[in-house]
Amino acid sequence: MSKKIIFMGTPTFSVPILKSLHESNYTIEAVFTQPPKKKSRGQKIEKSPVHLESIKYDIPVRYPNKLDNEDDFNFIKNAKVKYVIVVAYGQIIPKKMLNLPNILFLNIHASLLPKWRGAAPIQRSIIEMDNSTGISIMKIIPKLDAGPYMLQESIKIENDDNSATLSKKLSILSSKLIINCLDLLKNNNAKFTEQDENQATYANKIEKKDSEINWNIPAKKLIAKINGLNPAPGVWFRHYKTRLKIIQAQEVNRVGKAGEVLENDLTIGCKEKAIKILLIQKEGKRVLNVKSFLTGYIIKKGEMLT
């Protein structure tokens, strides 16, 4: 049985899985990733994390603007691989590729499917205050994240997890599970379980509007949102004309109006209880603890934040 595979991925989340496959008994024939992008207002071209990792391993890299083209279709068709591993690639796999005979497209998805199908499963699981999440390795079909899954494993979401820390945990878990999957397939021991469509929920893409603070929600919900959107895009509020991003906060047992500054240490009222900001970032500046921030910026007790 062929041990040759193709890997498709783009962000940092995909890198440990790529590394695990490279260090295994399987051979990565090629890597597909998103094209290099301009950074810093067009001053520099930046390759994706997966692209840079592939260069370290001398793996050929392909980065089409659109995967749905004849050249890449023929490349995969003629590559003599049995599996294509897809991890946060960032493009829809064309149906004609999925229909290629004798090639299985496997996707690593950061949720316990059918819960949180879609673009932002890690962020949504934290924002919605789930107790746990996990990894699903599934067969790709034309419908979004709806294919039968081969393996799932769950992990607990800790109170201090944000999207970065949880992403790292799930990435490391994925790097182990994918080898287990390929070994099961190699030994003809793989079993696929159909998803229950009645249980499907969707993790919609994070939009800019999701980042602005609504003080009129319970403090615990606001903390979950701060953690879920940290480090990017972050949760922010506007103080006069200055945008301030909350990096870290904790719930405190205080009562006040929603958006009211209850103490000079940036304890702010919510619909239920209050939050105390611990780390904050002024737009364009570095992250500071609140004590350091307030030595150069004044937000007074009694102010109402909108």
Query: 192-216 pLDDT, tens per residue?
Result: 999 999 999 999 999 988 999 999 9
**Phi, psi for 42 (deg, rounded to 5):** 85, 10
- What element of type H or E holds 186? helix 163-186
pTM, two decimal places: 0.94
Going by pLDDT thresholds of 50, 70 and 90, the confidence category of residue 3 is: confident
Torsion over CA: 159, 162, 168, 170 (sign): positive
CA 178/CA 22 separation, integer angstroms: 12
What average pLDDT does range 289-295 have in this prediction?
97
Distance CA 1, CA 229 (A): 43
Positive or negative, the CA dihedral 111, 183, 7, 54 is positive
Residue 24 has pLDDT above 50, yes or no: yes
- Reading the block at residue 25, the tokens are 């008994």
Q: Are the C-beta atoms of 164 and 230 separated by less than 8 Å? A: yes
- Provide mean pLDDT across the span 102-113: 97
**Average pLDDT for 23-38:** 95
| pLDDT given at position 1 | 47
Give 4's Cβ-side CA count (13 Å radius). Answer: 11
pLDDT band at residue 39, thresholds of 50, 70 and 90?
A: confident
pLDDT at 2 over 80: no
Residue 84, strand partner residues: 6, 105
Parallel/antiparallel/unpaired status of strands 267-269 and 261-263? antiparallel
Q: Which fold has domain 209-293?
A: Methionyl-tRNA Fmet Formyltransferase; Chain A, domain 2 (3.10.25)
Buried b (16+ CB within 10 A) or exposed e, 42-73: eeeeebbbbbebbeeeebebbbeeebeeeebe
Residue entry with tokens 């659109």: 66
pLDDT given at position 41: 64
**33-42, 60-69, 77-86: least confidently modelled range:** 33-42
Question: pLDDT tier at 42 (50, 70, 90 boundaries)?
Answer: low
Retrieve residue 239's tokens. Answer: 């103080």
Write down the domain spans for the chain.
Answer: 4-203, 209-293
CA distance 203 to 118: 5
H helices of 78-209, where? 95-98, 121-127, 163-186
- 73 token code pair: 């279709």
Q: Average model confidence (pLDDT) for the chain?
A: 96
pLDDT tops 60 at residue 69? yes
What is the mean predicted confidence (pLDDT) over 85-97? 97
3-state secondary structure of 109: strand
Question: Does the domain formed by 4-203 have CATH 3.20.20.480?
Answer: no
| Alpha carbons 179 and 182: distance in angstroms, whole number | 5
Q: Residue 130 corresponds to which tokens in the numbers above?
A: 């789930």
Domains 4-203 and 209-293 share a fold: no
Does residue 40 register a pLDDT over 80?
Answer: no
Collapse the DSSP code of 54 into the 3-class scheme (helix H, G, I; strand E, B; otherwise coil) and give the result.
Answer: helix
Beta strand 83-87 pairing with 4-9:
parallel
Quick one: pLDDT band at residue 288, thresholds 50, 70, 90?
very high
Q: How do residues 143-202 score in pLDDT, each as one tens digit?
A: 999 999 999 999 999 999 999 999 999 999 999 999 999 999 999 999 999 999 999 999
